[in-house]
Amino acid sequence: MRSFLALSASIVSLSISAMATAQSRNSPRSGPSSPPAFWVHDDGTVEVNNTDGQTKFQNIEAYLESELFEVVGGRCGLPPEDERISGPPLDDEPGGVAGGGSSSDCSCNQTNPSAIYDAQGDITYQIPVVFHVIRNSAGTQGNISEACIQNQVLTLNEDFNAISGSPGAPGTNCQIEFVLASVDPSGSATNGITYSDNSTWFNDGGGYYNSLAWDTSRYMNVYTNTASGALGYVPALGCSNIDGQAQDRIVILYSAIGNCATSSPYNLGRTLTHEVGHYFGLEHTFAGGCSSSSNCNNNGDLVCDTLPQQNSTSSCSSSSSCGQSHNNQRNYMDYSIDSCMNQFTYEQHLRMRCNLEHYRVQLPCTDCTGSGIPENDECSGAIALVDGPNEGTTFQATYSGVTSEPSCSTSSGIAVRNDVWYSYTVPGNGLLTLSTCGASFNSRLNIWDGGSCPSSGGPLLACSDNDCGDDAITSVFVFSGQEIIVQVGSPVNESGNFVLELALDEIIDPPVNDDCSDATAITGAVTEFTTIDASGSGFGLPLSCSTSSGPEVFSDVWFSWTAPCTGFATIASCGSEFDSRLAVYAGSTCPSSNIAPVSCADNICGDDASVTFLALEGQAFLIRVGSPVDGDEGQGSLFVDCEPIGGNPCPEDLNDDGTINGADLGLLLAAWGTDGADINDDGNTNGADLGLLLSAWGQDC
């Protein structure tokens, strides 16, 4: 437990009111005595009963800032040895535990710092954790979000694994990894978090653990409530054979959890790190005072590489005690402020792993189902992206140290913490857009060039931070076959789930006649065309050209045509696979918005177009085909005919090639229901015209 001063009898009555004294597995103690020593009311006020009488505070933060907390409240409340819960050891069961040595190596009275327990080169123990969030009956106090709990687990992993770039980096890598349980005791999927609303439980009373505990031999049970006025506590050290009892637990003040903690300066998640140290068998660094200066593995904190100290340390300044200087104030098992703590010692890590191997043998696993560090935590394990949504998580990801650039940040520096990695081979030229918008945490992303993992200052193609709320979205032009690396993390110490959206807007070459200056010359009666990926010319048509869709012409293509006769010219786009619109301009000079077309049409044959106008033999025209609907593109056929004035001696020769044959039949069928192949001049192309054509079949004109 973490406390500024050693606990007196009165302190024990305050801070340990909800803790059990020595008892068997079958005799659990229920809640605090009446009246309780510490109580948070529904209005948020705090009531403390101590030897000086009753004291009230406006809220929990005011209590934690008071001298009363420093003097009698307690940084934490580890019971004296003769009051700790204990019990017979559970039978060992096969699991992920390595085994070795004996339980006497880390008993409650001694430590044998045997190298057999050294984590280096050995397995990493994963610890399944369940958080029981207890709120008051109204649900108005004590609520903690899933994101905040995930951050607290991240802090544990930084501290117990001395992760590079994290506050825990100066410490010893214990290779103990914490994961939120993914399967509950019944075998059902879970996020490892439960919520309960009960004011008595919220005030650390009522034996809530008897109702809420998950198998304590297989899960580390963490409860958040008022912790009886302390910042946190455990009923006993791990060496006490407490595992398997419902009371085996860690209790943390609800306002001292994760990055949502408000209990400054105890607001960085180190209270839980401290209590987990007890849970794994560690004593306070100041246990035993100066008496631990000799025979240090059998006195005091039972660890020799923490120097003896008479009293706890409440600040981050260098200390001197028992005749020598020490820096125990940076040790997680002292009482200093959260920002100061950054290490377990080598012998502490040996003792903790020994405790796991002999006193909590069923707790650790080497592959907790569905949990652990993401497979793409390292760039070398980058996951290949697919078009569309890519679900991911940065929960329990480590910090690679590969940073962004100053220009990529709004205000949070250049770090990309808790990062995960992706790879992508670009299938075509275009604009690539990546987004983490809507992530459950403050996200940031970098896009790196190349098929190898980048380093800080490498070829950064694009980056984003706070471009959609506190999340990221960015676009970059890429080319076919290009390999990129995508880094997703956070500018701050946050992690969570996200969806990485990927969209590639490929750039396809537009049609050859996309621009008027490149108009395709029409030489026959039928010309195939496409408007797919065509651009617009930037000007519309007179309103008289439209039926209802406005003057715009989108995705247009251009044709040039010279009239082969003096007469009535007919041009049609009927039967196109998109909603087509056309206009005809006189001359060979590309028109602008102030040039009116000779003729224009929309929705003449279904949603397609057909125009007829007077032309002179040898006269040049420009024909424009597009759509009144933005984004409506497709393929079609352009039909062109010129009917001489004075009649046509051979009207069945629709293509004017001198012979009446299948080509003419095709034109007639294409113009069916219009006047485009009206042989008998009745205003409609129908069966009568088909009969005339067939009767003249094979004739030369």
Which pLDDT value is given to residue 49?
Answer: 82
Which pLDDT value is given to residue 33?
Answer: 34
Range with the lowest mean pLDDT among 156-165, 366-375, 393-402, 486-495?
366-375
Beta strands in 375-457 (DSSP E): 383-384, 388-393, 417-425, 430-435, 444-449
Q: Is 275 a catalytic residue?
A: yes
Burial bucket for residue 59 (CB in 10 Å: 0-12, 13-18, 19+): middle
CA–CA dist 474, 470 (Å, integer): 13
What contacts 130, CB < 8 A, 6 or more positions away?
Answer: 180, 181, 184, 190, 192, 193, 194, 214, 219, 220, 221, 222
Range with the lowest mean pLDDT among 109-118, 261-270, 291-300?
291-300
CA–CA dist 553, 238 (Å, integer): 78
Which pLDDT value is given to residue 371?
Answer: 46
Q: What is the mean pLDDT of residues 137-148?
A: 94
| Chain Cα centroid distance, residue 413 | 20
Beta carbons of 560 and 540 less than 8 angstroms apart: no
CA–CA dist 405, 445 (Å, integer): 11
- What is residue 692's three-state secondary structure? helix
Which pLDDT value is given to residue 583?
Answer: 95
Which pLDDT value is given to residue 326?
Answer: 75
* Tens-digit pLDDT profile for residues 481-510: 999 999 999 988 777 789 999 999 887 788
- Does residue 313 or residue 137 have the better pLDDT? 137
Q: What is the mean pLDDT of residues 7-24?
A: 29
What contacts 501, CB < 8 A, 6 or more positions away?
Answer: 388, 389, 390, 433, 434, 435, 436, 437
**Which CA distances in Å does 657 have to 257, 369, 648, 650?**
88, 78, 13, 11
Which pLDDT value is given to residue 694?
Answer: 87
Burial bucket for residue 22 (CB in 10 Å: 0-12, 13-18, 19+): middle
Which pLDDT value is given to residue 572?
Answer: 95
Among 332, 280, 281, 268, CA closest to 306: 332
Q: What is the mean pLDDT of residues 11-35?
A: 31
| 7 pLDDT tier (thresholds 50, 70, 90) | very low
CA–CA dist 396, 180 (Å, integer): 10
**Which CA distances in Å does 183 have to 129, 130, 137, 176?**
10, 10, 27, 20
- What is residue 320's three-state secondary structure? strand
Candidate list 158, 275, 357, 494, residue with the active-site label: 275
Q: What is the DSSP letter of 283?
A: P
* Tens-digit pLDDT profile for residues 210-262: 999 999 998 999 999 999 989 999 999 999 999 999 999 999 999 999 988 88
Which pLDDT value is given to residue 5?
Answer: 29
Beta carbons of 700 and 659 less than 8 angstroms apart: yes
CA–CA dist 333, 584 (Å, integer): 87
- First vs last C-alpha separation in the chain: 109
Which pLDDT value is given to residue 563?
Answer: 94
CA–CA dist 419, 436 (Å, integer): 13
CA–CA dist 640, 17 (Å, integer): 97
* Tens-digit pLDDT profile for residues 447-466: 998 878 988 767 789 999 88
| Chain Cα centroid distance, residue 139 | 28
Q: Which tokens is 512 given?
A: 């050859």
Beta carbons of 583 and 596 less than 8 angstroms apart: no
Neighbours of 314 (CB within 10 A): 18
CA–CA dist 374, 460 (Å, integer): 23
Range with the lowest mean pLDDT among 8-12, 332-336, 349-353, 434-438?
8-12
Res. 30: pLDDT tops 70: no
Q: What is the mean pLDDT of residues 94-116?
A: 79
Beta carbons of 531 and 578 less than 8 angstroms apart: yes
| 36 pLDDT tier (thresholds 50, 70, 90) | low
Res. 578: pLDDT tops 70: yes
Which pLDDT value is given to residue 647?
Answer: 62
Q: What is the DSSP letter of 67?
A: H
Which pLDDT value is given to residue 330?
Answer: 92
Q: Where are the alpha helices (DSSP H) in 196-269?
A: 199-202, 208-212
Tokens 């297989």 locate to: 218
Tokens 């794994």 locate to: 280
Alpha-carbon Rg for the chain, nearest whole angstrom, is 40
CA–CA dist 203, 167 (Å, integer): 32
* Tens-digit pLDDT profile for residues 388-433: 999 988 877 888 889 888 877 666 788 888 899 999 999 988 899 9
H or E element at residue 489: strand 483-490
Torsion (CA) 160, 161, 162, 165 in degrees, nearest 10: -120
- The type of residue at 229 is G
**Which CA distances in Å does 648 have to 422, 459, 520, 566, 615?**
70, 71, 28, 12, 15
* Tens-digit pLDDT profile for residues 297-346: 999 999 999 988 888 887 787 777 787 777 788 999 999 899 999 999 99
Give the global pTM.
0.57
- The type of residue at 652 is E
Among 310, 313, 315, 303, CA closest to 345: 303
Res. 655: pLDDT tops 70: yes
CA–CA dist 39, 52 (Å, integer): 16
| 17 pLDDT tier (thresholds 50, 70, 90) | very low
CA–CA dist 86, 36 (Å, integer): 25
| 646 pLDDT tier (thresholds 50, 70, 90) | low
CA–CA dist 375, 354 (Å, integer): 28
Which pLDDT value is given to residue 429?
Answer: 86
Neighbours of 151 (CB within 10 A): 25
Range with the lowest mean pLDDT among 77-86, 384-393, 553-562?
77-86
Which pLDDT value is given to residue 2?
Answer: 43
Which pLDDT value is given to residue 373?
Answer: 73
Which pLDDT value is given to residue 160?
Answer: 96
Which pLDDT value is given to residue 263?
Answer: 86
Beta carbons of 605 and 570 less than 8 angstroms apart: no
